[in-house]
Chain A
Amino acid sequence: MVKKMVSEKSGKGFIYNLETFISKYKLPIGIISIVILLVVPHLGFSQYIMNILIKIGIYIMLGLGLNILTGYTGLVSLGHAGFVAIGAYTASIIAIKSGMNFIPSAILGGLLAAVFGILLGLPTLRLTGTYLSIVTLGFGEIVRTVLMNWDSVTNGTLGVKGIPKPEIFGIKLTLANNGLYYMMLALVALITIFCIVLINSKTGRAFLAIKTDEMAGVMMGINVTYYKVLAFVLSAFISAVAGAFYATLIGYVDPNSFTFDISTLILSIVILGGMGTVRGMFVGAAVLISFPEVSRKLMDYRFVVYGLILVFMMRFRPQGLLGWKSQMPYKLSKNVKKRLQDLENSPS
């Protein structure tokens, strides 16, 4: 009796229906969303709106980056602005000094942040929970302080000006020609695909195992040290690339672009959207970035409302807006399905 209830996908509620619907019409839904995203710039929205859309895209990348660390591996970072800053500054300074194009300079920024990810990851392995968060918080502040005081390289509090726009085949990508919007789409798509393939592999399962029960993970032979550092590295790299893109979008960075507020905003996106999900990052970023813009009427009260929303979310939906567990069956490849069928057909 009990056995039956568990496997029966008990309830078959709203989520189940929604997921069935989406998986049934996966192709048309995908095509329609891609078409909409591609034609958005030609619908005559103002530059202000386009700017917000790109900003949402940047925060989706940042959310996805932090999600690898916090959502998958269960390590809460309060200092991700540090990685964003390293990426933004490194890419910008390289681009200005050597004239290097955006993509290679952003990758270099990402790699440097990844090195800092290792440096931050290694000593913090023995720390979990709040202790780890405090260390990452310190890291974020240290990065900002260094940027503020290392005048010869970072130009101190004045910041770095005149960051060149990305170029592809000799065409400068700007807001006006929508190049930056499309570049944002491409980056978000790449990072999204990366996160999806990552989580559906032994690496992703190792991350999830560490989050759920580190000790049990160790006893399954998972090299916890390696995977925790790897999570830091991947997370830092993605955040830094998003930071480099932010820098080229605005054309100017200073230490105050990367305060603790940014770290908490990224973390809020991950939590509000739904920790450990990819879909959640999109909704989390869209809600939290557009909220201050659409609620301008509320004037000074908007951050009170903003805070209240977060409080109520944590009280009534702690798993996040889209933080449900999939009720679809585990996806088997065609090969496995075929082998299983063969197995059933030959009862031996």
Chain B
Amino acid sequence: MAYLQVNGITKRFGGIVAVDKVSFEVNEGEIVSIIGPNGAGKTTVFNMLTGVYKIDEGEIIFDGKPIHNLKPQQIVKSGISRTFQNIRLFQDLRVVENVLVGTHIRTKYNLLESVIRSPKFRKEEDEKVFRAIEILKSIGLDHYRDDYAENLPYGDQRKLEIARAIATGAKLILLDEPAAGMNPQESEELLQFIRSLKQKGYTIIMIEHDMSVVMNISDRIYVIDHGKPIASGLPAEIANNERVIEAYLGRGRKNAEDK
């Protein structure tokens, strides 16, 4: 079975079916993209994967265990973390503190131990701070360590979100439009960065509109439109798939003439 197996998940908001029987699978170490026009239900899929929304039908199996309808913190603990379409950093916290919040779920000391500053607290806190700095170094943000997140340039804020997601100890990282609002040079950098994550053994699911990013790094692509899956396959297949082109651009001229 695949690393992440999504079988026919459905989400309804009242009478609207936002996501309708979407299935996909992701193997360990893959980069999989989910694309589709605006409002297709891509972010809803992410929200279902991360436990923000309960699913109405279907199942999500991660690493052999069902994770659908678990609480978000249980899902994070099982090894899935995400970034957001609109950057949601802890703007008032320092860069290093943002990453430290990411380590929260793997930090074991309790309240009493932290208040009396026990040896266990010191040891673990030191470990997490060191780990946070390591992540910042690996991602090329260490020179910002003491700055407040809100003062970072846009592209680096996106990177910091990814750093924070890595800090949770996640193996599967969901990136929600990581290249949104980036200039070509920034998205090229991002591309390299996501590739380096793959080399480090992370599995990545990405929602993205920037086709130069999607086509370049995806191992496979799933396309959804109006909540329904319409295509899946290798980047080259998707680029030439008529239903996909139709979903994005509408019917071609040939069809219009047929009428």
Contact = CB atoms under 8 A, between A and B. Distances in A.
Interface of A: 2-3, 6-7, 194, 197-198, 201-203, 205-206, 208-209, 211-213, 215-223, 230, 325, 328-330, 332-333, 335-336, 339-340
B72 A221 contact: yes
Interface of B: 50, 52, 72-73, 76-77, 81-82, 84, 88-94, 96-97, 100-105, 107, 109, 111, 114-115, 117, 121-122, 125-126, 128-130, 133, 143-148, 151-153, 156, 164, 168
B13 to A, nearest CB: 18
B90 A208 contact: yes
A6 to B, nearest CB: 5
A325 B92 contact: yes
Contacts of B153: 2-3, 6
A202 B115 contact: no
B101 A329 contact: no
A280 B128 CA distance: 29
A211 B126 CA distance: 25
Contacts of B145: 329-330
- Interface of A, helix, strand, loop or mixed by DSSP: helix
B161 to A, nearest CB: 9
Contact of B117 (A197, A215, A217, A330): A197
Contacts of B129: 332-333, 336
11 contacts: A6-B147, A6-B153, A7-B147, A194-B115, A197-B115, A198-B114, A198-B115, A213-B88, A221-B73, A221-B168, A222-B104
A336 B89 CA distance: 25
Given A201-B115, A212-B90, A219-B72, 4 more contacts: A219-B50, A221-B104, A221-B105, A336-B130
A203 B102 CA distance: 13
B243 to A, nearest CB: 33
A107 to B, nearest CB: 15
Contacts of B102: 220
Contact of B133 (A197, A222, A340): A340
Contacts of B50: 219
Given A223-B73, A330-B97, A340 B104 contact: no
B90 A221 contact: no
A197 B113 CA distance: 10
A203 B114 contact: yes
A201 B115 CA distance: 8
Given A6-B144, A212-B91, A221-B73, A203 B130 contact: no
A203 B111 contact: yes
Contacts of A333: 122, 125-126, 129
B89 A216 contact: yes
B68 to A, nearest CB: 17
B99 to A, nearest CB: 10
Contacts of B73: 218, 221-223
Given A3-B153, A198-B114, A205 B94 contact: no
B126 A335 contact: yes
B94 A212 contact: no
A205 B144 contact: no
Contacts of A336: 126, 129-130, 133
Contacts of B146: 7, 328-330
A2 B152 CA distance: 9
Given A201-B114, A208-B92, A329-B146, A220 B126 contact: no
A2 B128 CA distance: 29
Nearest to A333: B126
Contacts of A197: 114-115, 117
A223 B111 CA distance: 14
B90 A216 contact: yes
Contact of A217 (B77, B84, B101): B101
Nearest to A211: B92
A145 to B, nearest CB: 33
A7 B144 contact: yes
A222 B77 CA distance: 10
Contacts of A340: 130, 133
A206 B104 CA distance: 8
Most buried by A among B73, B111, B117: B73
Given A330-B145, A333-B122, A220 B97 contact: no
A276 B111 CA distance: 19
Contacts of A198: 114-115
Q: Which 10 A-B pairs have the closest CB atoms?
A: A221-B105, A221-B76, A201-B114, A216-B88, A329-B146, A212-B90, A221-B73, A335-B126, A202-B107, A209-B101
Contacts of B111: 201, 203, 230
A52 to B, nearest CB: 31
A217 B129 CA distance: 18
